[in-house]
Amino acid sequence: MVPGTDLSRRGVLSAAVLGTAASLVGAGAIGSLAPAAAFGAPAVLPGEPDPNFAEGRVTSIDGSLIRATGSDGTLHRIQTTSATSFWKLTPSTIESVATGDGFYARGLRMPDGSLAADAVWVNIVSLDAHVATLRGPVARANAARANAARANAAGADAAGGVRADGGQVHLDHRGSRIVGHVVPGVSAAVYNGAPAVNDLSLVRVGTHVHVIGAWHPDTNEMDIATLYTAV
């Protein structure tokens, strides 16, 4: 470390906001950008608000400054820098953020009350649901896998060649229907806690799932990032 250089999380973010850093590391070097990290437990006492967290909907974007209103009516100023990482289903940039988008942000509360963000998750949603029906390629892949299993055709290898490339997973969540879009090459499934795979053909109608994804604002639709279930 160069003498006098503070490479701590606080030092990096403060330097970025104050314009004193010649070069900056990405937020991924400070904390995880994985979607699940947005829902991590805050390092505060139970019942106390986390000063280094903000959520809400974007009301305006002025250069690197995001203004937003929280779900409780709190007005937020989210200061982003070249050290800020963005997620909008996939790693992204501030250019992908639009007025009306929802967000979670983690970072460092500055003396002026703004939040210097090290990570911003745009339109992120995490929910428990039951699979109501499958549509499109994911439904066809699921049926083909089931038929192969019933016929015991070529064993697991043949069934393993069936992949769900797109389609929809319709979810029942607290009495509401949600349409989850399977995004080819992006949406992944975690079966029985195993490593994630880009194949949702094992998802079964009627099963319980936990889904993390990117919401389509003001609709009942979302793009699936990761679906967790048992098989």
Q: What is the pTM of this model?
A: 0.79
CA-angle at 219, arms to 214 and 224, nearest 5°: 25
| pLDDT single digits (tens) 8-24 | 444 444 454 444 333 33
For residues 4 and 23, what is the distance between their CA atoms, to the nearest angstrom?
15
Confidence bin at 37 (pLDDT 50/70/90)? confident
| pLDDT single digits (tens) 70-98 | 999 999 999 999 989 999 999 999 999 99
What domains are there in the chain, each with its CATH number?
9-40+50-122 (2.40.50.140), 125-154+162-229 (2.40.50)
pLDDT at residue 131 is higher than 80: yes
Distances (CA, A) of 225 to 196, 198, 222: 10, 10, 9
For residues 116 and 97, what is the distance between their CA atoms, to the nearest angstrom?
16
Q: Are strands 115-122 and 75-79 parallel, antiparallel or unpaired?
A: parallel
Confidence bin at 121 (pLDDT 50/70/90)? very high
Q: Which helix (H) or strand (E) holds 227?
A: strand 221-229
| Three-class secondary structure assignment of 142-192 | HHHHHHHHHHCCCHHHHHHCCCCCCCEEEEEECCEEEEEECCCCCCEEEEC
pLDDT at 156: 45
pLDDT at 31: 47
CA-angle at 71, arms to 67 and 44, nearest 5°: 95
pLDDT at residue 141 is higher than 90: no
Please give the average per-residue pLDDT across 175-195, as a whole number.
Answer: 95
For residues 1 and 3, what is the distance between their CA atoms, to the nearest angstrom?
6
Please give the average per-residue pLDDT across 150-162, as a whole number.
Answer: 51
Distances (CA, A) of 17 to 9, 34, 40: 12, 23, 24
Lowest mean pLDDT among 15-19, 69-73, 99-103, 106-110: 15-19
How far is residue 94 CA from its own chain's centroid? 15
85-99 as b/e, with b when 16 or more CB fall inside 10 Å? bbbbbeebebeebee
